[in-house]
Structure 1
């Protein structure tokens, strides 16, 4: 095992000793209890890559904008990252793929890496995505929408590794999960969750949910993005520590404010916290 692998393993172990959580973009595993989707049937899915490797997920909101988790860009220079749209099997050079540089990153100004509060960011692509059968948009919840009720069936998708040895999945994986009431979820997490978070569980006795490298991917409920993969427990799919997402409905006004004020071609600025001035 090389030093690069150990470098990825040590970070979640340190986190586990404090909050007992694992950021799903930090080391290998997979969507748990899921299945491979029909290729390109989730055209909004984005792959965020560094060093040629898939690192996190996200979704395409507008032709220039991808929504992802803020922790995906922690200690990363956005200028070295790529956003890939139109993928199914990441190991294949698919003709449907569109590859973009990251022109700017807008993290939520109140993102807190220790508590994982407000774990959301927007990535401005360096050019416009061409929409079609393999590349499409995912809608946000409407302004003022409440989070889905407990028991609501939703889907979470991603390209997380299928083992801790960086074995890639055959293609985009997806699992069906159910929304868990925040009070019940917070009791499992010993009161560590904030009101702008959302939880899911399998709804049965099976282990099902997200895992490493799925961070930033959307939780889709009734064809809208209601959550962003944020963190899980030491063991993926463990009902004792339900999966936790950023609750997108709490950030709809902020997201549209960023998009409406974003310029068509912002200059590359590492870790920017405010959108460049100009027209959307």
Structure 2
């Protein structure tokens, strides 16, 4: 359920708190935006028959806030509408000409569409960004999590339109989701601190997609997954609860 940005060196994903010094349990972790079809790596699809979030579930109803993010007209990432004219996504997904499709099960049709007029990176350097869109989209927005809502052991659900195969190929036509638990809320994978173990693996195209806890609060956005996926249900999400003051101040504009 995710997509690729660029593969960092193993040193770039060294273990953070909770991992023994020098041990990196996710040496294949990379950012998870979608590549243009022509750039997809061939690879060997270990789970080639499964759906994205690789091995997750096909959604039967789209959350009204879910968004597909396009760069230059091509699908790149997943995102969330958090106010009438603001969308939350991963910082590594932004740049260039962006547009969104909000509230659709289908990656390439349905919902409401809007163009992005402003792109704002979270100022401390986290993998979080807010995008202002050119019209108000009326929808039910998710409540944003706060202190204590994203901790080790928290049950969660994540959404994305990402790749369906373990080698990060074949984008899904429909929204997918997976469910599981935050097994470490202080990990460090490309700066993301919420590491999960789910019934589906995060993959390219899932970047920027939402994580919600079992109270339905939005607590994270997708930063990384393993490429190729390994069936562990791994994904790394940036903890938005740490940046609530910036998010609240920005979407209040």
Shorter-chain TM-score tier: 0.7 to 0.9
Contact 1:34–1:209 under 8 Å retained in 2: yes
Deviations 1:247-280 (A, max 9, x none): 11101111111122xxxxxxxxxxxxxxxxxxx3
Deviations 1:126-159 (A, max 9, x none): 111133xxxx3111014xx224332222101110
Aligned partner (choices 15, 20, 33) of residue 25 of structure 1:
33
Deviations 1:171-208 (A, max 9, x none): 1000002111245xx4xx6xx675x7211113xxxx62
Aligned partner (choices 135, 145, 148) of residue 146 of structure 1:
148
Q: Give the structure with the larger helix fraction.
A: 1
Aligned partner (choices 119, 122, 132) of residue 108 of structure 1:
122
CA distance in 1 between partners of 2:244 and 2:168 (Å):
37
> In the alignment, is residue 169 of structure 1 matched against residue 172 of structure 2?
yes
2:106 paired residue number: 89
TM-score (norm 2): 0.77
Unaligned runs of 5+ in 1: 1-7, 112-117, 261-279
Q: Which has the larger radius of gyration?
A: 1
Deviations 1:215-242 (A, max 9, x none): 0111110211111101123333554x94
1:5 paired residue number: none
2:182 paired residue number: 179
> In the alignment, is residue 122 of structure 1 matched against residue 130 of structure 2?
yes
Aligned partner (choices 95, 98, 102) of residue 112 of structure 2:
98
Residue correspondences, number: 220
TM-score (norm 1): 0.70
> In the alignment, is residue 34 of structure 1 matched against residue 60 of structure 2?
no
Contact 1:48–1:81 under 8 Å retained in 2: yes
Unaligned runs of 5+ in 2: 13-26, 41-50
1:258 paired residue number: 250
**Alignment RMSD (CA, Å):** 2.6
Alpha-carbon spacing, 1:165–1:213, altered in 2? closer, same or farther (3 Å)? closer
CA distance in 1 between partners of 2:69 and 2:238 (Å):
18
Q: Give the structure with the larger strand fraction.
A: 2
CA distance in 1 between partners of 2:149 and 2:61 (Å):
29
Alignment of 1:192-231 (within 5 A): 197-202=193-198, 208-221=200-213, 222-231=215-224
2:45 paired residue number: none
